[in-house]
Amino acid sequence: MVRLQKYLADAGVASRRAGEQFILAGRVCVNGQVIRLLGTKVDPERDKVTVDGQLVAAKKLVYVAMNKPVGCVCSRKDELNRPTIYELLPREWSTVQTVGRLDFNSEGLIFLTNDGQFALRLTHPRYGIRKKYLVTVEGEVKHATIELFKSGIYHEGEKLTALAGRIVSGTRAKSVVELELGEGKNREVRRLFESQALTVKKLQRIQIGKIRLAELKPGKWRTLNPVEVKTLIGDL
């Protein structure tokens, strides 16, 4: 069951705000009955929804979790003709878009969807969806560096902050660090380490919200189930 205004938005009829106005104006019917109550829920599989007498067909929403491999981009087309992650998906999913990005040399968990509200909820800073990264760094990373990241540093005029962090393993030659971030600023993880003259050798996103990368292999994908989607965005 979904809210009627979300059903209208998912079908491409109107934005959710405009859909609410349609409902209040008595322009929307469910199974032949005029609906004026905001928050009314419908079953996309069973209910017949019309706007101004025209049938509204529900768009099948797709939610995909992929393990993005190194050496491909998150754009549909690349000016350098590099491989894209869209080449790893079925052709019929031509309307899905990435939720955020991972750069060419980064790997790990990324979502793709044709649900604009889902994408907004996961990328807008006000929702605070946490993302966890496993970072291999050249040289030794000290605990003081992690604490500095948590207090926040300024880089290129922008404040970058890690919500949490820990050193998984470390030697003088190499360190493995786990960082948790709440925003999706451009190259944020790499820039944190660059600010301390540390070179990132491997960057992998291992978790978004409560969804873990787990055993998903590089280049492979799976669809998210309804329970997983709800843990990420709640009841929209």
Active site residues: 103
C-alpha distances (whole Å) from 131 to each of 79, 85, 122, 213 are 29, 20, 10, 11
Residue 79 token pair: 């000016």
53's CB contacts (< 8 A; 6+ apart) are 29
| C-alpha span between 123 and 64 (Å, rounded) | 15
Query: In the chain, which ranges are continuous DSSP H helix?
Result: 4-10, 16-24, 116-123, 143-151, 188-194, 226-233
Which residues face 215 on adjacent strands? none
- Is the alpha carbon torsion for 33, 36, 37, 39 positive or negative? positive
